[in-house]
Amino acid sequence: MAGLTTAEVTERIVRGQVNDVPARSSRSTAEIVRANVFTRFNAIIGALFAVIVVVGPLRDGLFGLVVVANTGIGILQELRAKRALDALALIGQARPVVRRDGVRVTVPISQIVLDDLIEIGTGDKCVVDGTVTQADGLEIDESLLTGEPDPVPKQPGDAVLSGSFVVAGSGAFVATKVGRHAYAAQLAEEASRFTLVHSELRSGISRILKYVTWMMVPVAVALIVSQLYLQHHDWPEGVRRMVGGIVPMVPEGLILLTSVAFAIGVIRLGRRRCLVQELPAIEGLARVDIVCLDKTGTLTQGGMRVSDLVTFDRASSTHPAQALACLAAADPRPNASLQAILDAYGTSEHNGWRCTAVLPFSSTRKYSAAVLDSPDGARGTWLLGAPDVLLPAGDPHLATADTLAAQGLRVLLLATSGNDLNHPTLTQHANPVALVVLDQRLRSDAAATLRYFADQGVAAKVISGDSAVSVAAIAARLHLPHAEHPIDARRLPTEPDRLARTVEETTVFGRVTPRQKRDMVAALQARGHTVAMTGDGVNDVLALKDADIGVAMGTGSDATRAVAQIVLLDNDFAVLPAVVAEGRRVIGNITRVANLFLTKTVYSVLLGLLVVIWRVPYPFLPRHSTLLSALTIGLPAFFLALAPNTERARPHFVRTVMRFALPSGLIAGTATFATYLIARHHYGAAGLGAATSAATLTLFLISLWVLAIIARPYTRWRATLVVAMAVSFMAVLAAPWLQHFFALKLVGFPIPWTAAGVAVVAAAALELVWKHSRRTPTSRPSPPA
């Protein structure tokens, strides 16, 4: 079939019969702006800022300008990440092959039109619905749509569903439904969409913010009543004190900094040609404790070469090479092994050899087959596949194959069979003809990458469809621990608990089927592990989809790239440590700054309650809260959120943060209120400003000490950051115009020193809290190697 003509394609485009499903890799600009601007806390801060604009003075509304600046920074950073991600997604996008005007052409998915004739082969994703017109051993996996694990053989006239993928054979189909009319047309979009949800970090922050809202609302109401009615302030002063109490309760910058940290991570990884299709994947890979590696294309380079052809005595020395050339040439989409055979024997003289029927290679059955007519007129069935699958146990030829495989070589058996291709006992009584020996080249960076994972406490499991002996030899050359005890997956237990124990205790697995890969991932997850899976072939798709983090190679099949969260566009396995490091930077730094924000929220809520209980004026004006937040939280948090951080990610984000933030906030609030009461008693009712200044000094010193704790371990720039914030506050106290602007002036000798003394006692208590929070175990032990 010649496919559509150019005129017919143009006609369908005019009619709108185009596959116009938007394959976006990121949120739209409007969504980014909306997500950063229209937040619950921005609404609260905006309303309070409007109140201050009405009652004045405007310097008490500085917090509103800070929120505007922070939101603007968040939007700009996420837009930068969007541009980087969209550019990478365009490079990694699948481009189906269609026939138009009798010529094979590749087109973007969005340019497929109704009635296009689309060619498909092993590893290709079916991007629209259609009807099969040509099938050559075509088998399609529809498990991602229907949940049925077995591949479905397809013949001309059968339906093809978008979202399925080819596991064996090749063929063509006519597009019958395109765009939003196609079944599961959203699958590819949703599988590769840049998203900000479904991560422990973000869900933990959402939980924290929900708790904060519950605490904030009743305290804020009580504070309003206290300042306006119980304290009998005039209306403007009461409103200012009320706003000064509510604003610090809002951790408005926490979500912003999380988005910025993730966005910067996307940009940094993009420079390494790493496409992050789901944003939380950066965080997810940092939490991984087991990484399952496919050998071919991950530990070894994708290409192979035939290093030897071991023929057996009863075979002619010329027939094996000619049969191999004919077998390889019969597959329109050869895999790496067949391509190596084509490179070696494709130009061999095989005139007179003809292929009349083909059974394509399948990773489930581990072999391919074809009916070949030889030059002498003889017709026979030829097999090419795994020796230990095609030969019975104990066959003497297996010893030769195992000896070669033990050297890290891939070994295929060429054999003949007296049965037809469709015969149920096709492989029984196979007659060995020759062993094809393929040399697999190790990736130069594989050993260093495996060492990195070992150093970080991440157990590596090599799971391959190749011979267990061959895989073990490759793993041993890479110095992977316990590689000398491989397991043939055909002997794996099927009971989930026993399977999980076996997979936990073993490093190398061979002859693994696609379904077994999926079961092994599920068994590990059931034992509480966070599992990453790497792969590039169609046999990896199901495991990639089910793993916590799926990592696909850029030259892998369309199906693997579609379901993976991370795509290494340059097939550079050595990029994975950078992804792990980036995730740890994000998690570690957001945990740091969350401690700062939530300590402020806790002490603000406590101060509000204490003010209501003691029936005293709220100690701070909004400008005081803005100054304290800027110097001890806002400015330092931006630097800390984007700084290098190699700490291993710990689970239970909320528990980890609140273990320090809750007692720290209670200490800070209690100490500050104690200083405020002492100062009020010393200065009298008329000394509200002096009491506020003393309380501000205590709270700043305590908050600065919290910052000093969070900034550990110290580097030169972190120490400089803490010192700079201290110097900035001293400048405010020393400069008369800043004293006036922020309404701060320390009066007399005893109270300022009392404020400092209270802060020292509180700092000592903070040190005890910090040591306790670090000593309490929060992470599970490393998995066994």
For 388, the enclosing helix (H) or strand (E) is helix 387-390
Q: Identify which has the larger pLDDT, 130 or 277.
A: 130
The reported pLDDT for the residue numbered 349 is: 53
- Rounded Cα distance, 544 and 521, in Å: 9
pLDDT, one tens digit per residue, over 387-410 is 999 998 888 899 999 999 888 888
C-beta atoms surrounding 375 within 10 Å: 12
Structure tokens at 527: 């034992």
Ramachandran assignment for 643, one of left (phi > 0), alpha (psi -120 to 50 degrees), beta (any other): beta
Q: How buried is residue 166: exposed, middle or buried, by Cβ count under 10 Å (0-12/13-18/19+)?
A: buried
Q: Check pLDDT > 60 for residue 190.
A: no
* The one-letter amino acid at 121: G
Q: Residue 218 corresponds to which tokens in the numbers above?
A: 């009743």
- Are residues 631 and 728 in contact, defined by beta-carbon separation less than 8 angstroms? yes
Q: For residue 118, is pLDDT > 50?
A: yes
Please check whether residue 628 is in contact with residue 696, taking contact to mean a CB–CB distance below 8 angstroms: yes
d(CA 252, CA 634): 10
* Active-site annotation holds for 294: yes
Q: Which of 10-14, 25-29, 246-250, 702-706 has the highest mean pLDDT?
A: 702-706
Contact 744, 620 (CB under 8 A): no
pLDDT on residue 780: 41
* For the chain, domain boundaries: 6-22+97-187, 42-83+195-268+590-775, 273-299+443-571, 303-442
Task: Tell me the sheet residues that pair with 171.
Answer: 120, 135
507 vs 203: which has the higher pLDDT? 507
626 and 600 in contact (C-beta within 8 Å)? Answer: no
Alpha carbons 379 and 16: distance in angstroms, whole number: 51
Name the pLDDT band for 673 (thresholds 50, 70, 90): very high
Q: What is the pLDDT of residues 723-760, one digit of tens each?
A: 999 999 999 999 999 999 998 989 888 999 999 999 99
Angle at 340 between CA 337 and CA 344, to 5 degrees: 140
Among 463-472, 615-624, 641-650, 670-679, whose mean pLDDT is lowest?
641-650
Calpha distance 634→748 (Å, rounded)? 31
Dihedral sign computed on CA atoms, order 232, 236, 240, 243? positive
Q: In angstroms, what CA-CA distances link 483 with 439, 448, 455, 477, 742?
A: 19, 16, 17, 9, 67
- Quick check: 650 pLDDT over 80? no
What is the Cα–Cα distance from 414 to 370, expressed in whole angstroms?
A: 11
The Cα 544–Cα 518 span in angstroms is 8
C-alpha–C-alpha distance, residues 197 and 593, integer Å: 20
DSSP for 247-316 reads GGG--HHHHHHHHHHHHHHHHHHHHTTEEESSTHHHHHHHH-SEEEE-TBTTTEEEEEEEEEEEE-TTS-
CA proximity to 559, closest of 204, 9, 125, 102: 125
> What is the helix, strand, coil percentage profile of the chain, to 5?
55, 15, 30
**Given pLDDT bands bounded at 50, 70 and 90, which one contains residue 192?**
very low
Q: Taking a C-beta distance cutoff of 8 angstroms, is the pair 149, 140 a contact?
A: no
Question: What does the block give as tokens for 63?
Answer: 């917090």
Top pLDDT among 776 and 150 is at 150
> H or E element: which one contains 462?
strand 459-463
Most confident option among 124-133, 188-197, 213-222:
124-133
Calculate ∠ Cα 407-408-412, nearest 5°: 100
Distance separating alpha carbons of residues 338 and 348, to the nearest angstrom: 14
Where is pLDDT greater, at 299 or 600? 600
Asked if pLDDT for residue 778 goes beyond 60, the answer is no
CATH architecture of structural domain 6-22+97-187: Distorted Sandwich (2.70)
Cα–Cα distances (Å) from 444 to 483, 554, 555, 574, in that order, read 19, 18, 18, 9
Give the helix/strand (H/E) hosting 104.
strand 103-106
What pLDDT sits at residue 782?
38
Q: Tell me: pLDDT of 197 over 50.
A: no
> d(Cα 779, Cα 600) in Å, to the nearest integer?
26
What's the pLDDT score for residue 89?
64
Q: DSSP 3-state assignment of 155?
A: coil
Whose CA is closest to 381, among 391, 390, 365, 369?
369
Pairing of strands 531-535, 549-553: parallel
Q: SS3 for 318?
A: coil
pLDDT interval class at 116 (50, 70, 90):
very high
Give the tokens for residue 350. 């095989």
Look at residue 356 and tell me whether its pLDDT is greater than 90: no
- What would the DSSP string read from start to end of 631-686? IIIIHHHHHHHTS---PPP-S-HHHHHHHHHHHHHHHHHHHHHHHHHHHHHHH-TT
Which CATH number among 3.40.1110.10, 3.40.50.150, 1.10.3720.10, 3.20.20.70 corresponds to the domain 303-442? 3.40.1110.10
Choosing from 116, 294, 466, 540, the catalytic residue is 294
149 band by pLDDT with thresholds 50, 70 and 90: low
Overall average pLDDT of the 88-116 stretch: 84
Query: Is the separation of the CB atoms in 448 and 574 below 8 Å?
Result: yes
User: What SS3 class is residue 381?
Assistant: strand
Strand 152-153 and strand 129-141: the pairing is: antiparallel
Instruction: Give the fold, CATH level 3, of 273-299+443-571.
Output: Rossmann fold (3.40.50)
Name the amino acid, one letter, at 576: L
CB-CB neighbours of 347 under 10 Å: 9
CATH class of 42-83+195-268+590-775: mainly alpha
pLDDT(478) > 50: yes
Query: 214-268, pLDDT tens digit by residue?
Result: 887 888 788 878 877 776 667 777 777 778 778 888 787 787 787 788 788 888 8
Query: CB count, 10 Å around CB of 491?
Result: 9
Which has more confidence, 742 or 196?
742
**pLDDT at 603 (0 to 100):** 93
Question: Phi, psi (5° rounding) for residue 316?
Answer: -70, 145
Residue 193 has pLDDT above 50, yes or no: no
Mean pLDDT lowest for which of 90-104, 197-211, 278-292?
A: 197-211
pLDDT average, residue stretch 150-176:
88
High-pLDDT (> 70) share of the chain, %: 91
Per cent of the chain over pLDDT 90 is: 30
> What confidence category does residue 183 fall into, taking pLDDT thresholds of 50, 70 and 90?
low
- pLDDT above 60 for 171: yes
- Reported in sequence order, the residue ranges of 354-454 that DSSP labels E, i.e. its strands, are 354-362, 367-373, 379-385, 410-417, 431-442
Please provide the size of the chain in residues. 785
Amino acid at 565: Q
Q: Do strands 459-463 and 508-510 pair parallel, antiparallel, or not at all (unpaired)?
A: parallel
Model-wide pTM > 0.85: no
- Whole-angstrom distance, CA of residue 451 vs CA of residue 279: 26
Euclidean distance between CA atoms 58 and 141, whole angstroms: 65
pLDDT at position 8 is 93
Record the tokens describing residue 321, joined without a space: 């090479």
Confidence of residue 355 (pLDDT cuts 50, 70, 90): confident
Reported as a single tens digit per residue, the pLDDT across 425-462 is 888 888 899 999 998 888 888 899 999 998 888 899 99
Helix (H, G, I), strand (E, B) or coil at 746: coil
According to DSSP, the residues that pair with 773 across neighbouring strands are none
| Helix or strand holding residue 169 (H, E) | strand 165-177
User: What is the reported pLDDT for 692?
Assistant: 93
pLDDT above 70 (res 188): no
CB-based burial label for 131 (10 Å; 0-12, 13-18, 19+) = middle
Find the largest Cα–Cα distance for the chain: 116
Tokens 């070469």 sit at which residue? 305
377 or 580: whose pLDDT is higher? Answer: 580
| Residue 503 reports pLDDT greater than 60 | yes
Higher pLDDT, 350 or 513: 513
pLDDT band at 704 (very low <50, low <70, confident <90, very high): very high
In angstroms, the first-to-last Cα distance of the chain is 55
Q: Per residue, what are the HEC states of 190-212?
A: HHCCCCCCCCHHHHHHHHHHHHH
For the cut 50, the answer to whether the pLDDT of residue 290 exceeds it is yes
Q: Give Cα separations from 344 to 260, 322, 341 (angstroms).
A: 52, 11, 5
